[in-house]
Structure 1
């Protein structure tokens, strides 16, 4: 790895990156992006989660016999299937103008658990107007028996009354016999005679139980052809993710074998602090995302599913941390054997200066990558008609403290640069004896693991991330691991910081802006602390 700075070329790359980024931002409004949702943007709630919970409780108390012993959880949710269909058919902007106010694609869902009766409610709340969109009541194992029998009330009267209560005219709807995949088992569907957009028609979905309406949900039926197309896309993404996992396991096994084989020649302290940072940040983020773990739920309380999933992902994170650690110590051995230094040790006098250079270089390369990524997004949208839907499971609105989210930039940078660059390039270089293939192959493996993001068609994500992986690989070969690490951390910090700024509040805007420079601050503090400890030792 070359030690010469060659800063003019990096400055030129950074300027080119800024030009590309700003150019795409300027051109986007004129190139038809209005029908698509960007990966990083979501609708901004106009009310707080507490206001949504209060509105849901008020509605539930007015409609059901709700006790005073209740617990609420509020989640950000999206009608992703509907959003995807509208974007694929270029109907998104038209839908937003015509139906977005009454039938928003993003909304709050309030879970109410009544401890006295054991009943569970999910209330959909419009997060711009506090209007109740839909609702569902579920029984749990401890629910008390209903006092209303199933035969006491006529179904038609129940349905008509529920429609009126929710602001719909029953005469405008006709019962749909073939509900297909729109309705959950046991449900009834009533299709609007007039309200439609493309092949999507407004449909009211209801459930009945014990002589009562137990669920009411407005939906827009999506053509089966689109559902099948998206399912095929998701299957492709799943296949690529599994291939990536298998190849990553191969790389991990190779790392463990190298560590065992050359254990007497390996510095086991290498990467230990980075691994601990990765584990601390990732596990803390998992606890921060407990509201997101509730979003993929069935009927009934979400607490148990959320806790099981939390334990599962934390075990998986520990395994990821071990993989990153073995990748760093095995990669160190492979690079040493090929005559390339990995990175300076803390006790070396050059460590502080190296971190400063890595930070500065990382930011310059990061600016180039951000511009390149925007150009790839633009090309994908205009040439391949790429679109994305918001994912509640990853939304900042489903975090307890959204301001902590950009810390994940460091977890991603540490694990991915350790596994797919520091180990991956060295390993495939030894296997193929070809430098380009050594960079390309782990980049593709890394990219395949990113295809399950809700971006369609899924193959475009493979191409985009692979290209970015080539830049990170070039960075490692030319400037070393720490530069690649800071470039990755800076890029993700900027993107995640911007996602905070898009939330709209002054607090989040300030916090997000601070994250844009935090990698630089961390690099400076490490260098200063190294200089201080060195002075004390001397």
Structure 2
């Protein structure tokens, strides 16, 4: 009878979620600024990375006379500060109409390493027209450099010629007084601006040659101060979340050690290995993204260091996942509840199939609710997002692997913040609502580093989602929320492939919409011999 009472609410919630999701999709085009929270709402590249690399190489060869021994790598980049200012001041649409073609907010950055000389170059290429919009040459440390001649006439001729070569009119700009620090020269436009931000051309000159050229907009300092304050709040919330999560892991390890004779250490091992395998594969897949934040020198060495640093951190996350799985399962067992069945249990196949179905129903409701929350935030509370090159599918070796991360997030986060977190805080507070709320807040605080502003937005959004996950965990068990979480992330990540506009990626994006369902069906099919129609019990009331 329990099953008959529990399934209709999920079905009704799923239908409600679909109505909310489709309703937002229908209403959004008629609302001003409705796309401000859509991170996929960027002008899609119409040229390939290889075409951009060829254009950049040709430009650098003509300007700097490269050797024949060069290598190139192409990244998707974005002027995030400019984009954020435009969003905050409601100038984004005006900017796109007026300057979107000449000064794109998103572009390709081609890194060229000349192995014969050790010099590297960064060439900014328009990812629709292949026009070179900026460049920078960097000599290796210790190389001799000579400053440009101080003769004012020669310098003006050099910089003026560069402005002309890059498609601008020197007469439209005035050089900022005393702007020659470190060989850097700034020219302000007499005509072009957006809001309080004026167009500037930033150039560097060395040894009678222009070595850097970058068009930019001088963003007001007030925006920088506001953003820094927001990022500081995000960093604080993230550190608090990490600290409490670390303490939770210590408690889980202590519980496992204390109760080691009562715990089966094999339980949770497979889930942990899946988490580690997916996350480590994703880290290697993110190598191009690790190169997007860099200084003036070659990016590969720094990216490799960061890769291995992140891998060590992921291994520690795996340890946390494993011990919270063990400790959480044991704590619920003490409550008289088996939070999830394992392969050896005769109900496992049926449990997985039921959890998958319930997970998808819950996922549909959450997707609709999330759409409504973000739409409301954008329209009523002036919330907006910017694209993040460090987390973009355009900066992955194989974008098709990205949605696999849905499983890593689902396993680890549901283990730490639902399976173990609720059990721990239930023991500490003796209050079921607080036991669901507190780990949801901790989980939500770790999501505030995403480029959505103001930063409290994700704290509220993810906390609400966490409350629903917590309710579903107590009602239906651990595997249901794992499948719900995996389905939700798999759908969202699959849509990011779909939005790329490439036929193969779009097809794979569609496939990922049903991957969690296929995984649940496959596990159930493999376990068919052992299934007898048993049901996992809900949390005792």
TM-score normalised according to structure 2 size: 0.95
Shift of 1:177: 3.5
- Per-residue CA deviations over 1:95-154 (Å, capped at 9, x if unaligned) read 1111101100000000000011111100000000000010000001475x5699645882
The residue aligned with 1:339 is: 336
Q: Hey, what does 2:120 align to over in structure 1?
A: 120
Residues of 1 paired with 2:149 and 2:314: CA distance?
48
Corresponding residue number in structure 2 for 1:129: 129
In the other structure, the counterpart of 1:398 is 395
Deviation at 1:505, TM superposition (A): 1.2
Aligned-pair distance for 1:534?
7.6
How far apart, CA to CA, are the structure 2 residues paired with 1:93 and 1:132? 24
Q: Which residue of 2 aligns with 1:218?
A: 215
User: C-alpha distance in 1, partners of 2:8/2:419?
Assistant: 25
Matches within 5 A, 1:70-219: 70-141=70-141, 145=144, 150=149, 154-177=154-177, 186-219=183-216
DSSP-derived class of the 2:527 partner: helix
In the other structure, the counterpart of 2:415 is 418
CA distance 1:508–1:309, change in 2 (3 Å): same
**Residues 425-458 of structure 1, C-alpha deviation per residue, up to 9 Å, x if partnerless?**
0000000000000000000000000001000000
**Once the 2 structures are TM-superposed, how far is the Cα of residue 200 of structure 1 from its aligned partner?**
1.1
CA distance in 2, matches of 1:155, 1:362: 67
1:462 partnered with 2:450 = no
Q: CA deviation at 1:212?
A: 1.7
Q: Quickly say closer, same or farther: Cα 1:184–1:369, change in 2 above 3 A.
A: farther
Q: Select between 154-163 and 13-22 the one with higher mean Cα deviation.
A: 154-163
- 2:234 pairs with 1:233: no
> Secondary structure at the residue paired with 1:218?
strand
The 8 Å contact of residues 34 and 93 in structure 1, kept in 2 or not, is answered as no
CA contact 2:252–2:327 (8 Å) conserved in 1: yes
Go from structure 1 to structure 2 and tell me whether the alpha carbon gap of 1:433 and 1:37 turns closer, same or farther (over 3 Å shift): closer
Matches within 5 A, 1:436-447: 436-447=433-444
SS of alignment partner, residue 322 of structure 1: helix
Q: How far is the alpha carbon of 1:210 from its aligned partner? A: 2.3
* 1:64 alignment counterpart: 64
Matched, 1:518 2:524: no
Residue 305 of structure 2: aligned partner: 308
- The answer to whether the aligner puts 1:297 opposite 2:294 as a matched pair is yes
Distance 1:35 1:323 in 2: 37
Aligned pair partner of 2:505 in 490, 504, 508? 508
Look up the SS of the partner of 2:213 in the other structure: strand
Paired residues of 2:34 and 2:375 also in contact (CA < 8 A): no
Q: CA deviation at 1:33?
A: 2.2
Aligned to 2:477: 480
Partner of 2:525: 528
Matches within 5 A, 1:316-355: 316-355=313-352
Runs of 4 or more above 3 Å deviation: 2-5, 145-153, 183-186, 532-535
- Tell me if the contact between 1:20 and 1:374 (Cα under 8 Å) persists in the aligned partners: yes
1:13 and 2:26 matched: no
1:37 positional shift: 4.9
Offset of residue 6 of structure 1: 1.9
Tell me, in whole angstroms, the C-alpha distance in 1 between the residues paired with 2:374 and 2:172: 42
Partners of 2:67 and 2:135 in 1: CA distance: 17
CA distance in 1, matches of 2:185, 2:449: 32
Q: How many residues align?
A: 530
Name the CA distance, whole Å, in 2 between partners of 1:185 and 1:235: 30
Work out the CA distance in 1 between the residues paired with 2:111 and 2:5.
56
How far has the Cα of 1:527 moved from its partner? 0.7
Distance in 2, Cα, partners of 1:237 & 1:71: 38
1:501 and 1:510 in contact (8 A); partners too: yes
Once the two structures are superposed, what CA deviation does each residue of 1:345-395 show, in whole Å capped at 9, x if it has no partner?
A: 211111000000000000000000000000100111111100000000000
1:369 maps to: 366
Structure 1 stretch displaced more, 341-350 or 49-58: 341-350
Q: What does residue 405 of structure 2 align with? A: 408
Give 3-state SS (helix, strand or coil) of 2:118's partner.
Answer: coil
Once the two structures are TM-superposed, the CA of residue 342 in structure 1 deviates from its matched residue by 1.7
Deviation at 1:250, TM superposition (A): 1.1
Deviation per CA, 1:480-506: give whole Å up to 9, x if none.
Answer: 000000000000000000000000011
Q: Which runs of 5+ in 1 are unaligned?
A: none
- Name the stretch that deviates more: 419-428 or 30-39: 30-39
Alpha-carbon distance between aligned partners in 1 of 2:216 and 2:35, rounded to the nearest angstrom:
20
Cα deviation, 1:201-252, whole Å, max 9, x if unaligned, reads 1100111222321100000111100111011000000000001011101111
CA distance in 2, matches of 1:199, 1:26: 35
CA separation of 1:284 and 1:184: change in aligned 2, threshold 3 A: farther
Residue 253 in structure 1 maps to residue 220 in structure 2: no
Closer, same or farther: CA 511–142 of 1 in aligned 2, 3 Å: farther
- Across the aligned residues of Structure 1 and Structure 2, the Cα RMSD in angstroms comes to 1.8
Corresponding residue SS for 2:490: helix
Please identify, of 184-193 and 437-446, the stretch whose mean Cα deviation from structure 2 is larger. 184-193
Distance 2:181 2:100 in 1: 24
1:265 aligned partner: 262
Cα pair distance change 1:104/1:53, threshold 3 Å: same
Q: Tell me which residue corresponds to 1:435.
A: 432
Q: Verify the 8 A CA contact 1:60 1:66 in the aligned structure 2.
A: yes
